[in-house]
């Protein structure tokens, strides 16, 4: 039987069904107006005693946060319990009355129950022939879970300077890992600092450094705009040479220190690339003093360097989590 007559028969069948044993329903959700219990109560009144939702499924009701362009809504979903995938969902405008909201949501869920056969656990879900035109149903695929560890690779350049010895350019590369949705990150960077000089009569002392720095950082904001502070350990090799002396010598020394830093940055909208600018310092733990055999004068390399830098980082699996 098809057409309007079938709708009448279906309605009479629901009304004539025995009500002594209300159907077992699993209605969940985080809403308070209406609560899941109130939706379940209205749904039981619409279903026959032997009515069932698909095996292993449950009904879920959630509030939809309002936006500047839309009124407040409430969403009802039919969810497969085994995979947590939404089989169907629909949003309704949220009325001022909790009872009206519960009644509207129950009607949608009752329509879903009428469209499905009651199947045994593990059996495939089969649609019955429709006896009436159902409301529009939006089927949504579950989003893949974001990666637990997000890895970024970056490059930067800038200026290193001190109170003595002038300034020099530097370049660096870095790899960074952070937990998804976490404000903290671990970064490992390698840098080459350009040559600077100090006068030591009758010549000059020239030096440059190669450094490595493991660093922990903490971010505020979002990927579109963020601020970050960091603190890292510092290991460097200083290459020192004399120029203008009777016999020029060369030496290499290992030094340790600390490297605090600050950054501000933003992520490009169309690409998983973050641009940033920052500043920091290099604090060397011990003094490196240079002397020339046969001369009384000595000089020491600066123990504190200031750093100004800019750079970019690339995140292959950018997912909108916090941090650069």
168-201 pLDDT per residue, tens: 999 999 999 988 778 889 999 999 999 999 988 8
What SS3 class is residue 132? coil
202 within some domain: yes
Q: Rounded to whole angstroms, how far apart are CA atoms 80 and 117?
A: 15
144 within some domain: no
User: 69 preceded by cis ω (within 30°)?
Assistant: no
> What CATH number is given to the structural domain containing 98?
3.30.160
157 within some domain: yes
Q: Rounded to whole angstroms, how far apart are CA atoms 32 and 94?
A: 12
Indicate the average pLDDT of the chain: 79
List the domain range (segments joined by +) for residue 203: 149-314
Confidence (pTM): 0.53
pLDDT at 27 over 50: yes
Number of domains in the chain: 2
- At residue 61, the pLDDT reads 86
pLDDT digits 0-9 by tens, 195-254 = 999 988 888 999 999 999 999 999 998 868 999 999 999 999 999 988 888 777 888 999
Domain end, chosen from 63, 98, 115, is at 115
**Residue 83 shares a structural domain with residue 20:** yes
Three-class secondary structure assignment of 258-288: EEEEEEEEEECCCCCEEEEEEEEEEEECCCC
322 within some domain: no
**Residue 162 shares a structural domain with residue 305:** yes
45 within some domain: yes
**Residue 47 shares a structural domain with residue 99:** yes
19 within some domain: yes
Is 232 buried (19+), middle (13-18) or exposed (0-12) by CB count in 10 A? buried
Which two tokens mark 133? 């035109």
172 within some domain: yes
């Amino acid at each position: 039987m098809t057409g309007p007559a079938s709708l009448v028969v279906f309605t009479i069948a629901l009304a004539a069904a025995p009500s002594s044993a209300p159907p077992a329903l699993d209605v969940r959700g985080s809403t308070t107006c209406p609560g899941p219990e109130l939706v379940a109560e209205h749904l039981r009144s619409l279903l026959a005693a032997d009515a069932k939702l698909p095996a292993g499924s449950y009904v879920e009701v959630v509030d939809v946060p309002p936006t500047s362009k839309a009124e407040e809504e409430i969403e009802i979903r039919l969810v497969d319990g085994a995979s947590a995938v939404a089989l169907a969902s629909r949003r309704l405008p949220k009325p001022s009355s909790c009872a009206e909201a519960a009644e509207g949501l129950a009607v949608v869920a009752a329509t879903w129950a009428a469209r499905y056969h009651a199947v045994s656990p593990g059996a495939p879900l089969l649609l019955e022939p429709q006896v009436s035109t159902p409301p529009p149903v939006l089927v949504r695929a579950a989003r893949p879970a974001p990666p637990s560890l997000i890895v970024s690779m970056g490059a930067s350049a800038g200026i290193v300077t001190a109170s003595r010895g002038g300034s020099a350019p530097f370049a660096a590369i870095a790899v960074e890992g952070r937990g998804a949705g976490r404000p903290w990150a671990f970064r490992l960077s390698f840098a080459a600092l350009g040559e600077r000089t100090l006068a030591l009569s009758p010549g000059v002392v020239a030096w440059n450094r190669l450094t490595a720095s493991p660093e922990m950082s903490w971010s505020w904001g979002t990927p579109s705009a963020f601020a970050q502070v960091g603190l890292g350990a510092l290991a460097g090799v200083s290459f020192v040479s004399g120029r203008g002396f009777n016999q020029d010598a060369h030496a290499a020394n290992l030094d340790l220190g600390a490297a605090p830093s600050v950054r501000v940055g933003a992520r490009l909208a169309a690409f998983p690339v973050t641009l940033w600018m920052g500043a920091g310092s290099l604090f060397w733990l011990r003094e490196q003093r240079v002397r020339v055999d046969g001369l009384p004068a000595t000089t020491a390399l600066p123990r504190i360097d200031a750093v100004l830098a800019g750079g970019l980082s690339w995140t292959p699996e950018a997912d909108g989590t916090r941090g650069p």
